Structure 1
């Protein structure tokens, strides 16, 4: 078997060949399919009134684009749209105007759900896509629903889109006996384009008819067709317009009152806090923009869900803070999706910025009273854009404040010699700078070279650096691609610096009826991106392959289907097989628009080199995992979902199962309620408990496990009420109950085995049983009182309690009821921002 180092050399050589040989040959590969359809914009001498009526003079002069198509029931062959759609375009010195008329033979059946901006729901809609650069690679899209709902996003790489961007633009809609209409005003400052005497942009319009599940398109994009922006039609006629250098300023002010959990005396500490801050966006040129925030506050952001994690791996929580979410796609680095135990390595994970303070420990003998939940972000700035030569780039710089924990210590009075308890602040997180940069150079029409760097520096700790280069070679639009990446890291303490490397290689093609992926990934022992990224583990070599079948026509009861098989094998640099297995799964949409899915996987026996938390490797028996789910038609007022999953080891010495249901209610066009209860239970024959140093030499030599019976009940509730498209109320509530009971304690008898010897519970350092409940939730009233300007009223709560161990039986429903009366923290916040465009 080749060594891991040999495999890394293979990956490196393959990447070098890709960069040195494959990419230069693409320099002249610039052919793209350019549709012949075009629409001409006319200049508006007077801006049209946004009302969705189209009675302004300019709309009587503008030409109409018609001839919409859709894919027939076979999801393959083009057919004329069943309902007529047409659009017109106008412009002036400040903005682009688009009028879309959606005729409907049954206007009373138009689905017009009212939600706040960006919130998804089943509805009719119109989507306008624009490519102002006309580079056939990127652009922006703007979606409007009959109720006035809006959503927007950006397009990248001629292959995918992201809704993390939010622009300030306007649209008005109107329902009539002919159908519904949408009238857009898109200011030039939300579009990036270079100055020209006359412009030619890319454009296309899509319309969704919910009741028919029909998406009609001006430029038809068939299933499996590659490319997005390269298939747009042409927008002509715009002239005498200069791209603005635009400044957007968003100052905010807030007030917050926090009520802490009651202390032993029953009193409740109260904290009143006020703050101001500023967000800004500045267009340095038509292609480059700067986003910055000073003293940001994210009090309106939903709290992370409660979880129970007894594994050695960290739990991943997604980013929800607006500054880091908006425009985050520019930092996305194409990775290798790896099936197995550790997933792919992310070089940048923005949740690391502003994390809970804890870099420095507390002195021996001190008791911690409190510490902040997060590090304060003093300021952050993002610079992003694309050069005329085809290089996209993004740079992020942030600064977080020093943070202190409040400690209580025993000291001796030098005069009296008496001991006394004193409180003092202790530095647990220094002022820290975070830096991230990424650049991607287009090479020809289909390929790219990229590079990424991250750095973290602060007072009192050694800096951490990560860098990478990557290359992507596509063979056709939307077709096969080869991706490779080499990365290196340097971090650790001043006196214990470590270096590491990663090499990844991927070949995939998801465009045809038969498609798949093959990958290899090598990470050395010292590779670590967790200062600013997310990597579950290093010292691993991962390899595997997927294969999929996607029937292009409906058959039997299936409208669409995707069935996949996979196999993988992972090992460490000592040659231990860490994971190996195979399986399959599928996703189906039925002809009645129900959805179903299934999965089954077999994991063969393997070595776990982390199970003993620093001790010897341990053998893991073979296991089976499976899952099945079904969901009803999402267009209906009531949608039901159900999922059942489970697993077991050979001989059923360990088992697990989970049962979940979901109910989505839409009692009115502006109300949505989602209720998702789930119950899971598992019996783990060998859950790690603790390590012991039996001979007192300072090194652990006994590795204790126990049989764990664990029950979890999780209830999530979401509700949304949209009084208008600008005024909405959302609430989220999670009640979480977990109970864990350990028995039959034992220690690993020998390395690389699954054999144990008994351990008496009296030898343990404590009782590892646990029984906890929590209630987390927030309620947010959001009013966009002017375009881009918002008022937030927020109430968030975090309550927690535990069950008496004298009566530890798992009782989920009484625990959910009791969680509402548990002690906890309540926070009330009012935040007002005001958008100014200059």
Structure 2
């Protein structure tokens, strides 16, 4: 096999980097911001005298569903911009011939893509064509904000700003106040900023932009217009405090416990463009529940991050994909070790307590992003009981641990970046430590015609006095413009690659190749607003030994009509697949037969009160009795602009499949099974206004793994199976899994940046071996289990140092 060396990656990168072209720049508009000395009342009415004196900017362009077409006078949009020593002010006039027809569904903070028109003020204070802060408002008054950089838009980004809206017989209006502590900009005499404005008309299915954006070429952030006139402003002291208090009462199996906690999140501007975020004495008791499932596979079950500190402003730390935030404060990394014959574990902690965490991030005027992350978790113990003497002892399963990340990210050419990132986990004592480093690049030529991306990662695990090193590399080269596009790529990992102390990887030891082509339209036709057809082929191999594991081919299609009916599907073929992970024994593999299957789906127009998402799929295995069936069904009904209810049903059935059940020193045992999954979810939102809402989130997941046909196998060395009379008396593989979660909350954003949340949570769980019972009987068994009921109240208050300083200065 030809060895992949770092020289190949460097040479490919240099060829692409130096084969840049001169960009024929689209003419950019210019907006002159006006300094004002009079105060503006932010009420959305735009009746302050100053707005009548400022210059108006309009002549918006078509952006979606395509660039073609003109915007008539009756749908025109106009903007005005002003600033003073404390903030930026923006007025937006969205004219409409029939204002009563403007969709205006209520929603809460950051939920801006609902059935309501919206307006976006997008500002780039570095004018680098890459980084941008966006401030949204809907026609119902909901505000939102996001941070945009290259391929990512982060709605976890949250700052405090004001915006109000109003309506009359000519249209609707928005009035912004963006305080300077919500932005990062250099301390210079004259600011070099850029801006664009977006207006989304839901009923008309159009998006208009102030500065023209060419569909299908480059990124939106490269098309901003220029802002002139902003001078002699000083970045304020960016110190904001978010103290919180939380009270909680929990009842479980007849026992009631109560708890009170308090803490604070801090944001501090270390310099013009760098901010420190810290959480002191954190408490994540109101984080959303995890979507737990019955896990029959060889890999750990993972969940999305629901803790705000770890979802806000983490774009830099996600470079290279080697940071998985759920590792911090997750389950212990150690075990209880060998137990005596009469000992048993009576308490093993599910979580490790997070003591504190901080992150520092920012970007220089030269486009260099710098990030530092640190968190500390406390010592955690399991309890062991001696069933003879009755004595208990504690075993340390997680020592005092420190997690660090350092990242440098250099951006250039308004469309490219290269990054270096390092993660480190240090545990006190003789526990496992880890260190991982990555080089990441995402580059394109100046015309945005061709691009390349990739990463090279080195992992090091320190354990038992030794170090185990591993390596992974990825490279993709693609044509990134035009209707017809293509890409080729290569993924490689050796057998010892492991980033799971602070990252997430399920597999190593691979040497895979991929190629894909696609065709899509960027201008609507008479029938379709958009469609895309893509085909991808993969050739998968092991690194050691150098053997093929599978070939896969996938066809994906997506269509969206001018009447907002979307539909599509996928068709996939897998060759015989040698799975080296399912046996759970190093060097062994099981062969899954070739198979063909796919899914088709449809999504109706969300602008209507009733809409439906649905899909159905099937997969057939050749020369094997396994067949997979699955469907999903999700109706939604918008009773009014205040109340939306969504129901979702997911059903899947794997009939006559097989998988791992056990192994000993000599053999791996597999069993034929029927796996059935039924998941019911209900979400309901009642919004009193953009500041107060009642939210209901319900989930019931039922799964069975039924081996009652008693067809068992012994795994052969060549991956095939031989029938075997497996004794289930010692290890019954049948499973009946049922879990119920219900969250009912009332949220009230009672002041800018300040919020109170009252939450009721109900949880029930059951796992047994009754795999042949029906759904109804499984629910009965579930409701016979002890329930956990929790009521909590959390209040967070926003404090701006500048307001305190102003208040004291005024009083003095």
Q: Does 1:736 align with 2:701?
A: yes
Provide, for residues 675-716 of structure 1, a one-character-per-residue CA deviation record: whole Å limited to 9, x for no partner: 001221112442111113xxxxxxx21211111012111101
Question: Residues 443 and 25 (structure 1 numbering): CA distance in 2 closer, same or farther, change over 3 Å?
Answer: farther
User: Which of the numbers 727, 745, 760 marks the counterpart of 1:761?
Assistant: 727
Aligned pairs for 1:661-680 within 5 A: 661-680=633-652
Aligned-residue offset at 1:30: 8.2
Aligned-residue offset at 1:818: 6.4
Question: Residues 659 and 72 (structure 1 numbering): CA distance in 2 closer, same or farther, change over 3 Å?
Answer: closer
User: Which of the numbers 304, 310, 315 marks the counterpart of 2:296?
Assistant: 310
Aligned-residue offset at 1:447: 3.4
Aligned-residue offset at 1:503: 1.7
Question: Residues 484 and 36 (structure 1 numbering): CA distance in 2 closer, same or farther, change over 3 Å?
Answer: closer
Aligned pairs for 1:90-489 within 5 A: 90-119=82-111, 120-157=113-150, 160-260=152-252, 262=253, 268-333=254-319, 346-365=321-340, 366-410=343-387, 419-460=388-429, 461-476=431-446, 478-489=448-459
**Structure 1 residue matching 2:723: 3-state secondary structure:** strand
Aligned pairs for 1:805-816 within 5 A: 805=770, 808-813=771-776, 815-816=778-779
Q: Distance in 1 between matches of 2:294 and 2:522?
A: 41
Give the corresponding residue for 1:531. 501
**Structure 1 residue matching 2:10: 3-state secondary structure:** helix
Give the corresponding residue for 2:556. 585
Q: Distance in 1 between matches of 2:726 and 2:782?
A: 35
Question: Residues 614 and 496 (structure 1 numbering): CA distance in 2 closer, same or farther, change over 3 Å?
Answer: farther
Aligned-residue offset at 1:477: 5.1
Question: Residues 821 and 185 (structure 1 numbering): CA distance in 2 closer, same or farther, change over 3 Å?
Answer: farther
Give the corresponding residue for 2:570. 599
**Structure 1 residue matching 2:310: 3-state secondary structure:** helix
Q: Distance in 2 between matches of 1:46 and 1:299?
A: 45
Q: Does 1:828 align with 2:791?
A: yes
| Aligned 8 A contact 2:681 2:697 in 1 | yes
Q: Distance in 2 between matches of 1:181 and 1:224?
A: 30
Aligned-residue offset at 1:122: 2.1
Q: Distance in 2 between matches of 1:201 and 1:293?
A: 31
Q: Distance in 1 between matches of 2:164 and 2:740?
A: 40
Aligned-residue offset at 1:555: 4.7
Q: Distance in 1 between matches of 2:779 and 2:55?
A: 61
| Aligned 8 A contact 2:743 2:759 in 1 | yes
User: Which of the numbers 67, 70, 87 marks the counterpart of 1:79?
Assistant: 70
Q: Does 1:563 align with 2:526?
A: no
| Aligned 8 A contact 1:15 1:471 in 2 | no
Question: Residues 783 and 562 (structure 1 numbering): CA distance in 2 closer, same or farther, change over 3 Å?
Answer: same
Provide, for residues 626-676 of structure 1, a one-character-per-residue CA deviation record: whole Å limited to 9, x for no partner: 111111101111111111112121034111111110011110101111100
| Aligned 8 A contact 1:226 1:476 in 2 | no
Provide, for residues 62-114 of structure 1, a one-character-per-residue CA deviation record: whole Å limited to 9, x for no partner: 111111121587x2425225601111111111000100011110011011111
Aligned-residue offset at 1:820: 5.4
Q: Distance in 2 between matches of 1:245 and 1:834?
A: 19
Q: Distance in 2 between matches of 1:352 and 1:624?
A: 36
Provide, for residues 438-489 of structure 1, a one-character-per-residue CA deviation record: whole Å limited to 9, x for no partner: 1111344443321010000011313201001123331135432112322111
Aligned-residue offset at 1:749: 5.3
Q: Distance in 2 between matches of 1:509 and 1:821?
A: 58
Give the corresponding residue for 1:546. 516
Q: TM-score, normalised by structure 1?
A: 0.91
Q: Distance in 1 between matches of 2:188 and 2:241?
A: 28
**Structure 2 residue matching 1:581: 3-state secondary structure:** strand
Q: Distance in 2 between matches of 1:818 and 1:105?
A: 59
Aligned-residue offset at 1:23: 3.9
Aligned pairs for 1:698-717 within 5 A: 700-717=665-682
Give the corresponding residue for 2:810. none
| Aligned 8 A contact 2:625 2:656 in 1 | yes
| Aligned 8 A contact 2:298 2:581 in 1 | yes
Q: Distance in 2 between matches of 1:226 and 1:124?
A: 26
Q: Distance in 2 between matches of 1:636 and 1:317?
A: 33
Give the corresponding residue for 1:341. none
Provide, for residues 180-235 of structure 1, a one-character-per-residue CA deviation record: whole Å limited to 9, x for no partner: 10100000111111122233421111111111001111112131121333311122
Question: Residues 357 and 209 (structure 1 numbering): CA distance in 2 closer, same or farther, change over 3 Å?
Answer: same
Unaligned 5+ segments in structure 1 are 263-267, 335-345, 411-418, 693-699
Provide, for residues 399-434 of structure 1, a one-character-per-residue CA deviation record: whole Å limited to 9, x for no partner: 011112232124xxxxxxxx4112333322111100
Unaligned 5+ segments in structure 2 are 802-812
Q: Which moved more, 1:13-22 or 1:104-113?
A: 13-22
Provide, for residues 271-297 of structure 1, a one-character-per-residue CA deviation record: whole Å limited to 9, x for no partner: 211111110001111111111111111
Q: Distance in 2 between matches of 1:656 and 1:23?
A: 46
Provide, for residues 736-788 of structure 1, a one-character-per-residue CA deviation record: whole Å limited to 9, x for no partner: 111221133433352123231322435x6221111121101212211111111
Aligned-residue offset at 1:376: 0.9
Aligned-residue offset at 1:319: 1.2
Question: Residues 509 and 796 (structure 1 numbering): CA distance in 2 closer, same or farther, change over 3 Å?
Answer: farther
Q: Does 1:629 align with 2:601?
A: yes
**Structure 2 residue matching 1:212: 3-state secondary structure:** coil
**Structure 1 residue matching 2:689: 3-state secondary structure:** coil
Aligned-residue offset at 1:368: 2.0
Q: TM-score, normalised by structure 2?
A: 0.94
Q: Distance in 1 between matches of 2:448 and 2:241?
A: 39
Aligned pairs for 1:501-540 within 5 A: 501-540=471-510
Aligned-residue offset at 1:821: 6.1
Q: Distance in 2 between matches of 1:61 and 1:820?
A: 67
Aligned-residue offset at 1:557: 4.1
Aligned-residue offset at 1:556: 7.0
Q: Distance in 1 between matches of 2:149 and 2:769?
A: 55
Aligned-residue offset at 1:363: 4.2
| Aligned 8 A contact 1:472 1:481 in 2 | yes
